Amino acid sequence: MAGDIAGPVGPVNSVVLQQIRDLLVTEEPLVDSAAIDNPVNPTELVVTFSSGRDAAGRMEITWWNTGEYRYQYTEPDGLDFRFDNHPKANAPDAHFHPPPDAGAAEPSFLGEETQLQVITRAVISRWREVAIEGASLDALNAGPE
């Protein structure tokens, strides 16, 4: 992932990761666990789910002090997608890597949104529509209806 970032993003914001963890544990009943990988030098929040589209999956979340972020969801059998906001060559800062294998970046439906609560709820809502409610994978990054 580091090679995918075309500009400086700075250190990880551990306070924001704690806020995201608390929000997910409180609001999403399918979260099995949510833990920051290293309390002294955090790089990501790792969230595991009790269910998913084909199998229980996990989401790795990074939020940098500069406001850039990464929400990457993976299931063991290969479903993989990612919502990012960081400098990237040939893509807008807010972009999406679609499933099934987190392919080439395309503009994200999140656009210029910066509020961590809105972004987290939107990503989890889209995950739930696809992984739990059976919506098409295209629903992950669909624009407003």
Q: How far apart are CA 22 and CA 117, in angstroms?
A: 11
Rounded mean pLDDT, 24-52? 94
The whole-number pLDDT of residue 77 equals 84
| Per-residue tokens: 51 | 């269910």
| Per-residue tokens: 76 | 């063991």
Decide the pairing of beta strands 80-85 and 69-74: antiparallel
Q: Which residue has the tokens 């809105």?
A: 118
Q: How far apart are CA 70 and CA 16, in angstroms?
A: 13
The whole-number pLDDT of residue 39 equals 83
Rounded mean pLDDT, 91-113? 93
| pLDDT band at residue 32 under the 50/70/90 scheme | very high
Q: How far apart are CA 28 and CA 22, in angstroms?
A: 10
Q: Give the pLDDT confidence of 58-92 residue by residue, as tens digits.
A: 999 999 998 999 999 999 988 899 999 988 888 88
